[in-house]
């Protein structure tokens, strides 16, 4: 199972992605969680300590590795589009609570059509994770839609769009669904987060098709407390975890 978790910034993508990864790991599954957000904090949400996370360099920032694998450097502007990457998850991944974390980072470019060596490397790694590994792979994507424009998630089984009860989040879901169709990904599902009351629930239900809505996670200050203490929400809030368990069951059914 290969899932890309996406959505606007601040909607709770990382909380959902990390808890989902922990739940699959609890079942004894081989789980690889890949952090493709430039503001990488998936590790904290998984339960890694700060010392370990401070030692991790995102793959996109490993200039020497990128040069070695692609052949690109200041003297050589030509590089391979098919670099060797199959050893990277095991070589650079860190394990905590049964989940292997791979921090990919992202490529900072002025446009979505970047074909720079770093982008080629990241795209190749993601394709390898999706096509050639039997693990459960959960990608915590960068906020927004640029990763869809770059085509780095074209082989995923499904996109899960995390939204808040608001018009801008709903618009993001619609845009993801449109772009995912262009990439050949037919499964675009929605998780509504930070739902406060029945009015919020009604807002979501009237704007998201029933077949796309996986469930709702209600606003919970325990998640904020977990973040303040650098803890995994999975270990801090049984209420949120139970709600995500129900969402996971629907994902498994599909």
SS3 (DSSP) at 123? helix
Distance CA 191, CA 136 (A): 19
- The pLDDT of residue 102: 94
**Burial (CB count within 10 angstroms: exposed 0-12, middle 13-18, buried 19+), residue 197:** exposed
CA–CA gap between residue 82 and residue 166 (Å, rounded): 41
pLDDT tens track of the chain, all 254 residues?
899 999 988 899 999 999 999 999 999 999 999 998 877 789 999 999 999 999 999 998 898 998 888 887 766 667 777 889 999 999 999 999 999 999 988 765 544 445 577 778 888 888 888 776 778 999 998 876 666 666 666 667 888 999 999 999 999 999 999 888 887 888 899 999 999 999 999 999 999 999 999 999 999 999 999 988 888 999 999 999 999 999 999 999 88
**Which CATH code is given to the segment(s) 2-253?**
3.40.50.300
Can you tell me the distance from the alpha carbon of 37 to that of 53, in angstroms, rounded to the nearest whole number? 14
Give this prediction's pTM. 0.88
Q: What is the pLDDT of residue 162?
A: 97
Check if the beta carbon of residue 102 is closer than 8 Å to that of residue 35: yes
Nearest to 254 by CA among 189, 184, 163, 181: 189
CA separation for the pair 245, 20 (Å, rounded): 8
């Amino acid at each position: 199972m290969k899932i890309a978790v996406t959505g606007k910034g601040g909607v709770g993508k990382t909380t959902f992605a990390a808890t989902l990864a922990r739940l699959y790991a609890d079942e004894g599954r081989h789980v690889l969680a890949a952090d493709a957000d430039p503001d990488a904090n998936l590790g904290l949400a998984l339960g890694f300590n700060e010392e370990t996370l401070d030692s991790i360099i995102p793959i996109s920032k490993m200039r020497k590795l990128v040069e070695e694998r692609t052949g690109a450097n200041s003297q050589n502007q030509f590089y391979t589009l098919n670099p060797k990457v199959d050893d990277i998850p095991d070589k650079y991944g860190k394990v905590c609570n049964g989940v292997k974390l791979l921090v990919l980072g992202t490529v900072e470019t002025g446009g979505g059509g970047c074909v720079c060596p770093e982008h080629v490397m990241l795209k190749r790694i993601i394709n390898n994770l999706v096509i050639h590994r039997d693990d459960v792979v959960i990608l915590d994507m960068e906020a927004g839609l640029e990763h869809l424009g770059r085509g780095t998630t074209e082989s995923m089984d499904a996109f899960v769009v995390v939204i808040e009860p608001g018009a801008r989040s709903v618009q993001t879901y619609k845009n993801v669904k449109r772009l995912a169709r262009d990439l050949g990904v037919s499964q675009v599902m929605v998780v509504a987060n930070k739902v406060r009351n029945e009015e919020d629930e009604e807002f979501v239900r009237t704007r998201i098709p029933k077949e796309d809505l996986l469930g709702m996670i209600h606003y919970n200050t325990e998640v904020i407390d977990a973040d303040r203490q650098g803890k995994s929400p999975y270990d801090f809030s049984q209420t949120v975890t139970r709600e995500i368990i129900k969402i996971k069951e629907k994902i498994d059914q599909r």
